[in-house]
Amino acid sequence: MMKQTYFWNKKDLLKVLFCLFIPISSWAQANPSILVLGDSLSAEYGLARGSGWVHLLEQRLLQDQSQWRVFNASISGETTSGGLTRLPLLLEQKKPGIVMIELGANDALRGLSLAETKSNLRMMIVMSKKSGARVLLFGMQIPPNYGQKYTAQFKALYSALAKEEKIELIPFFLEGVATRPDLFQADRIHPNAQAQSVLFKNVWGSMAPYSKLLLSSP
């Protein structure tokens, strides 16, 4: 029996090398997903279902014929501690390619330790990155009546984390909303329906680094 000899062309060789050296990640999932882990600002508190900024993100992805889908795991009143507790199971179940972390405001409103808030956020970021996901952190700010030092340090922790962990950041999620009383509900805390398009634009603008991935087929 004659021994067969196989010859590899350059194209086939490149395909094999690609499979060997490029790790399989969640970017190549059959059903790529975006996980939103937030509080009432993302959970449509006080709004009609399907009118929040997360829904607007879903609609934009559908409009662009993106294969990516959004899973909103936001809960009103959520803290960074609560988010950290829930995240492992969410990562396991949803296997997201992008994790959006919109947490910390409730920590500040309760006067919790800034060190603890930063530590919880960092652990969520690291956990998400280890799962293969990219992370978008939502920068938050609080009113100055909590004290100038606490307010400044709270604002700074988000940009510091983004820089240290090399992740994308929305400098201030409520940009364009926070200074407009007409964009808040009666409680003067939660953005109203009219504000959601502004919040969506803040998020969408910060997703520019993911644009090619979101529009590519899995």
Identify whether 190 is a catalytic site residue.
Answer: yes
The verdict on whether 211 is a catalytic residue reads no
Q: Tokens at residue 184, please?
A: 């808040």
Domain ranges of the chain: 32-215
Instruction: Kindly tell me if the per-residue pLDDT of 27 is higher than 80.
Output: no
**Average pLDDT estimate for 74-99:** 98
Q: What percent of the chain has pLDDT over 70?
A: 84
- Active-site residue, selected from the candidate residues 26, 33, 40, 66: 40
* CATH architecture type of domain 32-215: 3-Layer(aba) Sandwich (3.40)
Reported pTM: 0.85
Q: How confident is the model at residue 216 (pLDDT cuts 50, 70, 90)?
A: low
What SS3 class is residue 169?
strand
Using one digit for the tens of pLDDT, what is the confidence trace for 40-81?
A: 999 999 999 999 999 999 999 999 999 999 999 999 999 999
Least confident residue range of 15-19, 54-58, 99-103, 180-184: 15-19
Whether the per-residue pLDDT at 108 is higher than 70: the answer is yes
At residue 211 the predicted structure's pLDDT band, cuts being 50, 70 and 90, is confident
Q: Which of 42, 36, 136 lies closest to 94 in space, CA to CA?
A: 36
C-alpha torsion angle, residues 12, 15, 16, 18 (rounded to 10): 160
- The rounded distance, in Å, linking the Cα atoms of 142 and 202 is 18
Query: Is residue 12 flagged as an active site residue?
Result: no
Residue 214, pLDDT score: 85
